[in-house]
Structure 1
Amino acid sequence: MDFDAVMNPVLADLQAAGAIVPEVRYEAWEDHPDCVFAFIGSPGETAGSQGVRVERSGRAGLRLTELAEQVQGWEVEALAEAGRPATWPECPEHPGSHPLEPCAESAERAIWRCPRSHRVVCTIGELGGSSR
C-alpha cells in the first residue's frame, strides 16, 4: 500500500479549493504494523501537527474516505486558526453552511457529498474538476 497514492487525491482537493495544504511527514510506528502513519501540519511548523493513518489492508475507497476524514478535521482547525471560514470543502449546494462529507460510494470509490441532501459532488481528488 502506497501512502502517497491515498494522500495525493486529498492534497489535490485542498489545492483546488485554495485551502491550507499541509506538509506531510512520514513516521513508521513498529507497534502498529497494519497501518502507515504520517504527521500533517502547517507548512514550516512542527507544533500543531496531527497524526493520520491509513490501514495497509482494505479497499481503496474505504482507505481514502478514512484519510479524507482525518485531513478534513485538521483542515477545519487550520482554517479557523488562520481566521478563514472553516468549512472545507464547502458544500456548493449550501454555501457558508457546512462542509461536504467524505463517503465511500463503493469499496473502490470515495466521494464528496452533501451531508444534508446526500447529493454527490465529485470523486475525492476531483474537487476542482467537473461535478457529477
Structure 2
Amino acid sequence: MHPELNAALSPLLADLQVPSGVAPTVGDREWQDDPGAASCWLHSPDGTGMGVWIQTGQPFTTQVLALAEQVQEWAVEALWKLERPASWPACPHHPDRHPLSAREHDGQAVWVCPVLDTKVAVIGALADFRIRRRHLRRRT
C-alpha cells in the first residue's frame, strides 16, 4: 500500500474498532490509474468491497478528511448489511439520530457533532472518547 494512503487510513481503521463500528479487510490492490492518487479496497464481512483513495502529496489532514467521507460511506453500507445501526460513527450527544461529521479543527481532522458543532474526538482517537452522563444530559 502507498505509504501516504496507509498513514491516512490508519486513524480511520482505528475508529472502526469502536463497538458501534465494523472492521474491514483492506485489499492492497490499487484501482486508480491516476499517478497522483493512491487507492485500495475495503471489504465488508460479506465479501463485498468499495474502493477508497486519496490524492498523494496533499497535507495529511486533507487526506484523512477525504478518506473519512469514503470510509463512513463504506461503514454505513457494511453495518446496514449486518442489520446493525448504520449511523457511524454514532454521535454520543444524539444516539440513534445522526452520525458524526469529519471536519478540520485547529489543523487536525476531527469528528464533530453536526448539530452542536462540537468536537467529539480527533479522528483515530474515537475509542478513547468517553462521554460523561452528566455532560450528556446537559447537552440534549
More helix by share: 2
Partner residue, 2:127: 128
Matched residue count: 129
- Separation in 1, partners of 2:104, 2:60: 9
- Separation in 1, partners of 2:51, 2:76: 15
1:69 aligns with 2:62: no
Partner residue, 1:9: 11
Partner residue, 1:28: 30
Give the deviation of 1:9 after TM superposition: 0.5
Give the deviation of 1:18 after TM superposition: 4.2
Q: 1:111 to 1:22 in 2, by over 3 A?
A: same
TM (normalized to structure 1)?
0.88
| Deviations, residues 63-91 of structure 1 (Å, cap 9, x unaligned) | 10110110000100111111100111100
- Separation in 1, partners of 2:31, 2:24: 21
The unaligned stretches of length 5 or more in structure 2 are: 132-140
Give the deviation of 1:55 after TM superposition: 1.1
- Separation in 2, partners of 1:99, 1:93: 10
Higher alpha-carbon Rg: 2
| RMSD between superposed Cα atoms in Å | 1.9
* Cα pair 1:17 1:127 within 8 Å, conserved: no
- Give the % identical residues: 36
Give the deviation of 1:28 after TM superposition: 3.0
